Structure 1
Amino acid sequence: MTGFGTRAGPWADGRLDIEGHRGAMGLVPENTLEGFLAAIRLGVSGLELDVRLSGDGTVVVWHDPVLLDGRCVPTEEDLIGARVDDLTVRQLRTIDIGSLVRPDLPDQRAVPGARIVTLSELLEACADADVWWTIELKSNPLDAREVDRRRSFVDSVLAVIHAAGIERRCFVHSFDWAVLEVSHELAPDVLRSALADVGDTFAAGSPWLGSVPWEDHGGDLAGAVARLGAHVVSPDHRSVDAALVDRAHTLGLGVLPWTVNEPADVRRVVDAGADGLVTDYPDRVLALTRHGRT
């Protein structure tokens, strides 16, 4: 079905794939190089990260469409509130993204001076790590500018993936399923992972589903992802149960829920048969699962 065999991915050898969310967001400020290196040292099998296009067309590692107060500290001009796609890489590099810790994540430690990095720089810095990369392309189908740049965005990300030589250990990952359709057109051999928030992005009339009509699947998320031609279904962990996992596995799909932090939720999704999980706290999950399922 996929051209990669059944449930291709980091779980192909039977291990539970434990992926650090935005690096190790519960421990180190998100999407910083320091956070990704911390997760690697802990022993994750995968890293999840967010990417966007800068104003000058470079793929940068960042989650939000704008630079948010409370997460960013200007060191030159005040760019708080500016859109990332309006700023050059040089401008983005003036923002300190490591000095502030989030009050809702009390275990975070600051890394003063951390800067936004490009995807190329991140992959180069982690080139020796034996990890899979789950690269979330942040694309909003309700934002006309992002829709207009969708194809060039996907093409740019794929170019970085190919330059880094990680084609066989990465996922192109997005809530915007049209992104995955473009990726399939441009690079059919690169694995694709469909994010979904059941009742929000996966819902009747949703603009997030690309060319897949929600109504044709009667709420069958795994069936819709299979119709899309993706390789992985990645739902909010609250939507994961044995029935969803069994359905996905029957269709040859991997199941990678997000964002799983509490011990009870870790046990629930693992017991349901999920192939992996994305977590803010890879240290806790690795300890809880004894470094994965064999």
Structure 2
Amino acid sequence: MNFYESARFQYAAARLMVKLVQFRQSGRFVKNITNNSNFDVQLVSQSDGSFNINIESPEQSTGDDPFMRASLADLVAYVSERVVEKIDENSLQDTTTGSADRPPGGDAPGDAPVAALDRLIATIRSGEASASDLPPQIGELIKRRVAETDREQRLALNQAEISRIDIARSQKLIAMSAPLISEMATALRRSANTLEITTATTGGSNSVLFLDRRMAQEIETAIVDDEITPILADITQFNKDNGWGKFKIENGAKVINFSIPYDILPSIRRKLIDSMNVDMVYLQVYYVRDRSAEIVRALIVGILPTPER
């Protein structure tokens, strides 16, 4: 593995994990990590020849009065939902429609690509199919979708604690974590093909984040706005299962892909579906821009009452 890229990844990952532990404890984090603010996140020894990086975060004791009781993986899931783009149906269609690359069993008539991928994942988990028999690009799609669904389950199970993160704190978390996850993605320039964050449990392991090289390239150049922007938009496409979709702005002149974090999706799903029957909906979004400040996608975090014209 390239030494320079590996070092940049580890430094960014270390800063992200320590700052998330600080946030879990007090609801805030410091800009510069000093000896006093360096929480005891430990690097676990690894086997020879492995590039796995295993860490352990300090346990929250019953005597503590922390800002929130959540695992480090819960917070990684929270920020990943706001930095990493969701699987979009166009890329799924491009990857799975070729006869040579079509998932075993094929798609049922009328199946959406995401639904077809979820059915394939279910057959692999039940032992009816083997991931090793699939083409590499399908295998990576599966890992990406598994990370999405595992984050959904994790955030749903910990909704009470996650809800303690208000808008102001969420804005600060995104502003802190987005550039660090971007820095972590440098390991995929030449050294690695994929990057995956998993958490070990008594029942096995769960995926929290998965990146391939294309995703890493997008994250490296993406800049998430620090502030929420309220916009009037026309919703043209929406996947109710994973929160991905498209809307039009500027009188239909521009089409923007959007995603909705899983901890927010259940509360606005019905309203967003209903909004597809009207011309405009008033959204709260974070724009994600490229280095020239052009909008490349959006993150929907709320719906406001539509203002009267």
Query: Larger % of helix: which?
Result: 2
Query: Larger % of strand: which?
Result: 2
TM > 0.5 between the two?
A: no
Q: TM-score range by the shorter chain?
A: under 0.3
Q: Which has the higher contact order (CA 8 A, sep 6+)?
A: 1
| TM-score where L is the length of structure 1 | 0.27
Larger Rg: 2
